[in-house]
């Protein structure tokens, strides 16, 4: 055996020994079950209330979805000029209302004058909600109206903005006021926001994985270093694909489930895809079409 071969063999042996030692020393712990995530059958979460059936985040959308029997809502939250938390996705108002500017430019009282149905076209293409009184609602109003629902909320304001800097503490105080800890999931694309919120929550509220956390988990899963992954999230809410990486792999779902982490997929509107994901082990479907999703559950 030549000198180069000896060196290669020694390096391979050292790498193998290092891998074995990390597996012995690193033992990932399963996440403690949160009450909000205690369910045995797959659940349906209406995305922004079911935004294909009624104006997104509108009272009509939430009410229609509730009547269909969904298990909860997936929403986005933002802070107003007077520091009220409202249910709204975009930073700018013009896509779904008759207002222009940003949510943070207006007080809650001013935003109540906006028409949420101004641009809505239903699935037949008929504008049926314009000037029908669909108002922006607060998170508190939603919690009060649907105490039986699981509400997944995504903090949209970036942590480096004034609104974003206040959101974690404002949200914690609101959840405390409503004693809603066991029926919500708090999400954000930003790790900083989740860490700030958890300084108040101290792991008492279910936390969804950030984009960075999803990348860490998938890297560990795909590189055979699963034993090095230590989860910081209680639930993964993810698309079926991120760039070229398939996140709907049954093996990936099984890996997360083994750590007591359920997986929810967004935004799924095709019944056949819903069936496939549930078959693969998904515990939740986030959809604009709760009517179709509830039919899938009945057939499953």
* Domains, the chain: 30-299 (3.20.20.190)
Identify the CA nearest to 79 among candidates 2, 180, 156, 24: 156
Q: Can you read off the two tokens belonging to residue 192?
A: 């900083």
Pairing of the two strands 150-155 and 85-87: unpaired
pLDDT at 27: 65
- Are 114 and 126 contacting, i.e. CB atoms less than 8 angstroms apart? no
Task: Scan for tokens 């969904």, then name that residue.
Answer: 70
Give CA–CA dist 154/6, Å, rounded: 54
pLDDT digits (tens, 9 = 90+) for 191-216: 999 999 999 999 999 999 999 999 99
164 bridge partner residues: none
pLDDT at 8: 45
Specify the pTM: 0.89
User: How many Cα atoms are found within 13 Å in the side-chain-facing hemisphere of 116?
Assistant: 24
Give CA–CA dist 84/101, Å, rounded: 17
Give CA–CA dist 72/170, Å, rounded: 22
pLDDT at 218: 95
Dihedral sign from CA coordinates of 247, 248, 249, 250:
positive
Chain centroid to CA 150: 12
pLDDT at 3: 52
Residue 1 has pLDDT above 60, yes or no: no
Q: How confident is the model at residue 14 (pLDDT cuts 50, 70, 90)?
A: very low
Other Cβ atoms closer than 10 A to 173? 12
Higher pLDDT, 182 or 26: 182
Residue 24 has pLDDT above 90, yes or no: no
Q: What's the rounded mean pLDDT across residues 77-88?
A: 98
Cβ neighbours of residue 73 under 8 Å, at least 6 residues apart?
Answer: 45, 46, 48, 49, 62, 65, 142, 146, 149, 150, 151, 152
- Spell out the long-range contacts of 242-250 with Cβ–Cβ below 8 A and sequence spacing 24 or more: 242/214, 242/215, 242/218, 245/218, 247/214, 247/218, 248/276, 248/277, 248/280, 248/282, 249/280, 250/280, 250/281
Q: How confident is the model at residue 12 (pLDDT cuts 50, 70, 90)?
A: very low
- Are 290 and 68 contacting, i.e. CB atoms less than 8 angstroms apart? yes
Give CA–CA dist 95/110, Å, rounded: 17
Give CA–CA dist 264/257, Å, rounded: 11
Other Cβ atoms closer than 10 A to 30? 11
pLDDT at 181: 97
Q: How confident is the model at residue 30 (pLDDT cuts 50, 70, 90)?
A: confident
pLDDT digits (tens, 9 = 90+) for 94-142: 999 999 999 999 999 999 999 999 999 877 776 789 999 999 999 999 9
pLDDT at 10: 42
pLDDT at 224: 80
């Amino acid at each position: 055996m030549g000198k180069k071969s000896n060196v290669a063999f020694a390096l391979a042996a050292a790498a193998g020994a290092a891998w074995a030692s990390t597996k012995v020393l690193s033992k990932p712990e399963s996440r403690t079950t949160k009450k909000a995530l205690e369910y045995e059958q797959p659940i349906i979460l209406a995305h922004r209330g079911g935004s294909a059936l009624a104006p997104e985040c509108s009272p009509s959308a939430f009410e229609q979805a509730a009547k269909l029997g969904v298990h909860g809502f997936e929403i986005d939250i933002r802070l107003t000029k007077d520091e009220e938390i409202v249910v709204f996705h975009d930073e700018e108002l013009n896509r779904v209302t008759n207002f222009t500017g940003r949510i943070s430019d207006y007080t809650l009282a001013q935003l109540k004058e906006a028409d949420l149905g101004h641009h809505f076209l239903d699935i037949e293409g008929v504008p049926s909600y314009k000037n029908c009184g669909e108002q922006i609602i607060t998170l508190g109003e939603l919690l009060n109206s649907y105490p039986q629902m699981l509400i997944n909320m995504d903090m949209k304001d970036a942590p480096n903005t004034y609104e974003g800097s206040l959101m974690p503490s404002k949200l914690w105080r609101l959840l405390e006021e409503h004693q809603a800890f066991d029926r919500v999931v708090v999400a954000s694309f930003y790790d900083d926001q989740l860490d700030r919120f958890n300084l108040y929550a101290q792991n008492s509220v279910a936390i969804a994985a950030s984009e960075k956390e999803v990348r860490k988990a998938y890297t560990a899963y795909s590189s055979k270093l699963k034993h090095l992954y230590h989860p910081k999230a209680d639930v993964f809410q993810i698309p079926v694909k991120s760039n070229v990486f398939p996140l709907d792999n049954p093996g990936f779902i099984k890996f997360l489930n083994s750590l007591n982490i359920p997986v929810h997929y967004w935004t799924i509107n095709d019944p056949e895809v819903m069936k496939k994901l549930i078959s693969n082990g998904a515990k939740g479907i986030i959809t604009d079409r709760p009517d179709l999703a509830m039919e899938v559950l009945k057939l499953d």
